[in-house]
Amino acid sequence: MALWTLHGDGKRIPPGEVVAPGERLVWPRTISMGMQHVVAMFGATFLVPLITGFPPATTLFFSAVGTALFLLLTRNRLPSYLGSSFAFISPIMAAKAGADGMGKALFGVLAAGLLLALIGWVVHVAGSGWLNSFMPPVMTGTIVMMIGFNLAGTAWRTTDAATGETNGGMAHAPLTAWITVVAIVLITVLFRGLIGRLSVLLGVGCGYIAALVQGQVDFQAIRDAAWIGLPEFQAPVLDWAVLPMFLPVVLVLIAENVGHVKSVALMTGENYDKSMGRALISDGLATALAGIGGGSGTTTYAENIGVMAATKVYSTAVYWVAAATALVLSLIPKFGAAVATVPPGVIGGAGVVLYGMIGLLGARIWVENKVDFARPVNLFPAAAALILGIANASFKFGDIELTGIVVGTITAFALYHAMSALAKWRGTDVAA
């Protein structure tokens, strides 16, 4: 029995039709579309290791493995590509500050993945209704916004691993950074379709050319790298103190996966409610695998949703091709070395745009779900959490340090559920 049936003649998609997950086009078109998805995720997926110092090839390797695992565990019914999650940047940077920083950060990624998989199992068994009660849109939007704006400092300050000095991402190469920002913005507004959706990747390319002209790119690492070889793997280092920094990220991963499943269901007209738990389990295990071997935590990608919406092709065959393509690229050390040559100015410029977009995605969640901020139970928890998260307020208890995102997340949930319970008891849950 074939895994996919051919849609029509396999060469064209009649108006009003879509290629369902269980269908495919002819293989040449399927392969080209799979490679297109790799391009769509490329800019964002590689920006995470470039910022955090993780090996790009290793990140791509676990992205490919994670995507294949996702497709297997969702029974080849739910199209998705798993790329690097930006939600991990802040805790990784904090964990890396001490001794054995990379290993401790990987332990945090591993723990977050296992917790996400556990929550996915609960959703698979008990349904997803309890998620909406525990994490309503006002909380989801607040946490996503907090993570995006908490990274504002990271966009401005990029660590130069070669010298061990901390330089401003913008101050290090201001012209390069601004060229990158302007290029991303112009490509977004001047082009439609795939080119417009690839504005970050293409903008980074423009910034890279500008850096090259200014002599800011060193190609020695590319010359030294082999053509074929395994990525650089690293095991995690056990450190329970990092867990408070990483576990709140799970809330963002839940929101991203749930949003992905609902988006695909809306576009294909299929009901994926029973796949919600499997999606969370899959991303959780993919993230855990990355933590075991030295990769960044994974999540679903809006860029790939955009490609599916534009092409009307939701075939999981396309994503198997994307996973295979990413795997092959991860086994070419020269490719990973080339990605690692992107200079701080380009990373800082792209970060200015991307982190702001993440923050405003939280606002979009509020707007789309019509969150009523006239209700104090919505207003006060979100307001307090955002200030604590953006200001990166931190508290230290022995060896355990709670950073801004953790403090903001705990504050948001504690205030929201406490205020909701008290307001319901007193009958005061009304607009101010």
CA distance 256 to 297: 13
Q: Please state the rounded mean pLDDT for residues 409-427.
A: 87
Q: What pLDDT is attached to residue 358?
A: 72
Question: What confidence score (pLDDT) does residue 430 get?
Answer: 62
Q: For residue range 276-306, list pLDDT tens digits in order.
A: 899 999 999 999 999 999 998 998 876 677 7
Q: What's the pLDDT tens digit per position in 150-198?
A: 777 766 654 333 333 444 444 446 778 888 889 988 988 888 766 776 7
| Token duo for residue 431 | 């607009």
Shared-domain flag, residues 343 and 395: no
Q: Are residues 358 and 382 in the same domain?
A: no
* pLDDT score for 156: 61
Q: Looking at the structure, tell me whether residues 367 and 380 fall in a common domain.
A: no
Q: Which amino acid is at 381?
A: P
Asked if residue 363 and residue 336 are part of one domain, the reply reads yes
pLDDT in tens, 232-291: 899 999 888 888 888 878 887 887 888 788 878 877 888 887 888 999 999 999 999 999
Range of the domain at 376: 372-432
Same domain? 32 vs 169: yes
430: left (phi over 0), alpha (psi -120 to 50) or beta: beta
Q: Is residue 6 part of a domain?
A: no
Q: Is pLDDT above 50 for 31?
A: yes
Q: Let me know if residue 300 belongs to a domain.
A: yes
Q: Considering the domain boundaries, does residue 12 fall inside one?
A: no
What CA–CA distance (Å, rounded) separates 213 from 176? Answer: 10
Q: Chain-wide mean pLDDT for the chain?
A: 82
Q: Give the number of domains in the chain.
A: 2
The pLDDT-based confidence of 344 (bands split at 50, 70, 90) is: confident
User: 292 and 403: one domain?
Assistant: no
Residues in the chain: 432
pLDDT of residue 261: 84
Q: What is the pLDDT of residue 383?
A: 93
The pLDDT assigned to 241 comes to 84
- What pTM was estimated for this model as a whole? 0.78
Same domain for 430 and 331: no
Provide mean pLDDT across the span 118-132: 87
